[in-house]
Amino acid sequence: MSSSQEKQNTLQLAIISRIKLFYRPVGLSMPPEAAPQKLRFRKSGSQLVLINPTPYYLTVTSLMAGNKALANTMVPPMGNTSVPLLPGAGSQITYQTINDFGALTPVTKGVFE
């Protein structure tokens, strides 16, 4: 193979990946599959507060307020986080989470406190 042919035949790959690693102690109070349904919501001004009463991190995606898509976020165990509510956002909340296998959980209707 000539050097001109080698220059013509190239393959370049760019891979960006993120791996999250969580430590889970033995004896947590619930299985991880039950955690997404426990997520609760509260409106605070122009923010939607996501409240996680479980011992698991929850990666929330496909978060919708009415027909407005909200930012994806991660909610820490026994903690909360806020996302901005868009003008005209409805009061019905739906969301999905990402499970331990990287798959989306079924769409869940949000429950307000």
Boundaries of every domain in the chain: 35-112
Structural class in CATH, domain 35-112: mainly beta
Task: Read off the pLDDT of each residue in 85-95 and give the average, rounded to a whole number.
Answer: 91
Q: How confident is the model at residue 21 (pLDDT cuts 50, 70, 90)?
A: confident
Task: Read off the pLDDT of each residue in 30-44 and give the average, rounded to a whole number.
Answer: 96
Task: Read off the pLDDT of each residue in 70-96 and give the average, rounded to a whole number.
Answer: 95
Evaluate whether 75 touches 81 at the Cβ level (below 8 Å). Answer: yes
- Tell me how far CA of residue 95 lies from CA of 5, 18, 35, 61, 73, in angstroms: 52, 22, 13, 6, 11
Mean pLDDT, the chain, rounded, equals 91
pTM summary value: 0.81
Query: Is the sign of the CA dihedral 23, 27, 29, 34 positive or negative?
Result: positive
Question: Where are the alpha helices (H) located in 1-113, listed in sequence order?
Answer: 3-8
Evaluate whether 63 touches 70 at the Cβ level (below 8 Å). Answer: yes
